[in-house]
Chains A and B, each alone.
Chain A
Amino acid sequence: MSLRVAVLDYEMSNLRSAAKALERQGASVTVARRPDEIGEVDAVVLPGDGHFGEAMRRLRSSGLADAVRAASDRGTPVLGICIGLQVLFDSSDEAPEEAGLGLIPGVVRRLDDTAKVPHIGWSHVSFGDRCPIAPPTADPAFYFLHGYAVVPSDDADVWATAHHGRGDFCAVAGRGHVMGVQFHPEKSSDAGLALLERWMAHVGTEVHA
């Protein structure tokens, strides 16, 4: 049976590519706009890019924020992409007045501006041993499009890093069944599609365990 994935539509664009990329890897995708649409799925994906404050306001007003938290509490795997990763955290410098979903402890900070911000383009990602969706071979490049990056409170939640400016930032964060990627796998050509395939395989083993 194919993996049932809810891709959340909170009007932060980029939804179509993420949904299509997952379908291409064999997922059965539901585009979810209402909380009841994520009740019966194997996994939840928060796609998108954009502004943290806008994203959280839309997640909250649609009821999807509570629904994602509830799904996570039930043990449903969650994958955030770009802004979808950032909203998993407690708060962001981009919109200090808006609380995040708080599924991974930590904050979102503006990127080091000793290099150009926003960070736009392809960068190599170094995956740590803990990351269950790391590529089997050498570190490939993925496409980034962001001005902010997550800073997990617990270093153990940093699953991969990439370089920008004077240092490295967190490119993949995770805690148990909740994880997120700062880059756009749905825009990272073959390397990105392969990563989504590994995530689906990983989630499939958890779901059917």
Chain B
Amino acid sequence: MIRVIPCLDVKDGRVVKGVNFVGLRDAGDPVELASRYDREGADEIVFLDITASHEQRATIVELARHTAEEVFIPFTIGGGLRTEEDVRVVLAAGADKVSINSAAVREPALIDRCASHFGSQCIVVAIDAKRRPDGGWEVFLNGGRLPTGREAVEWAREAADRGAGELLVTSMDRDGTKDGFDTELLSAIVDSVNVPIIASGGAGTLAHFAEAAKDGRADAVLAASVFHDGVFSIAQVKEAMADAGVSVRR
């Protein structure tokens, strides 16, 4: 079954980019929002922590702890995890998976160490990729601002070989455009690895989700604003995917 995953951006323990649900007591409370998404049928939740202060680890651990106590679907925490110790404390606080991005590019052996200590199944490597004018895709860091010179498909293969259990692939070309997922990028990566792929970046219409699964062959689809702004509900997305012949949990 293809998973549908809302992504929440969190700063200092609060959800940023407001979520437009009717009847929320506190639209900035990550745990209340995650519970709401659970009731709506979300298959997982991803929290992306964008706190830039030295308090980050404390707030992220607090978030993991509260979510684990209140939300009974899996959740992943990403953003700013730099060391094995960062990963350990977030998992110990109750996160099911962690997502690492820049730290893995800077020090690929971090993936090996985390996979061997915590198991591959909880180590997600996030890859932000941008199309190259001459073909292929390049890995970018810092939200698409910092080019690395690394080929994205090649990096995906290396990350999986080193023990990443899942890859969260974001097209920086499509992110925020609502033009649809980059299915060529997704299928190029799917063809080179044997771990699940989460598609991210570009969801704008109901049809886009089924395209990511069918053309991109992604195992999960992730979106933020279309869910938070109330453009679609999780149920609508799943219904559209099912109508297109994609297996989903309902």
Contacts and interface: CB of A to CB of B under 8 A. Distances in A.
B195 A122 contact: no
Nearest to A196: B72
B128 interface: no
B121 A118 contact: yes
Contacts of B94: 13-17
Interface string B98-116: 0000000000000000001
A14 B96 CA distance: 7
Interface string A173-209: 0000000000010111100110000000000000000
Contacts of A15: 94
Interface residues of A, number: 33
A17 B91 contact: no
Contacts of A35: none
Interface in B49-90: 65, 68-70, 72-74
B96 A145 contact: yes
B121 A145 contact: yes
Nearest to B118: A50
Name the residue in B94, B97, B219 with the highest tally of chain A Cβ atoms < 10 Å from its Cβ. B94
B120 A122 contact: no
A60 to B, nearest CB: 17
A132 to B, nearest CB: 22
B3 interface: yes
Contacts of A113: 194
Contacts of B97: 145
A26 interface: no
Interface residues of B, number: 34
Contact of A120 (B65, B72, B117, B196): B196
Interface in B114-133: 116-122
A42 interface: no
A109 B249 CA distance: 27
Interface in A112-142: 113, 116-118, 120-123, 141
Nearest to B198: A120
A163 to B, nearest CB: 11
Contacts of A11: 92
B119 A51 contact: yes
B72 A189 contact: yes
Interface string B193-210: 011100000000000000
Contacts of A145: 74, 96-97, 121-122
A75 interface: no
Contact of A49 (B43, B69, B119, B219): B119
Given A13-B94, A120-B196, A147-B165, A49 B72 contact: no
Contact of A121 (B69, B72, B120, B196): B196
A184 B165 contact: no
Given A20-B68, A122-B3, A187-B96, 6 more contacts: A13-B94, A13-B118, A121-B3, A141-B1, A143-B43, A186-B72
16 contacts: A16-B93, A113-B194, A116-B219, A118-B120, A120-B121, A121-B3, A121-B43, A121-B219, A122-B1, A122-B3, A145-B74, A146-B121, A184-B96, A188-B73, A189-B38, A189-B72
Interface of B: 1-3, 38, 43, 65, 68-70, 72-74, 91-97, 116-122, 165-166, 194-196, 219-220, 249
Shortest 6 CB-CB contacts between residues of A and residues of B: A16-B68, A118-B121, A16-B94, A13-B91, A122-B249, A50-B119
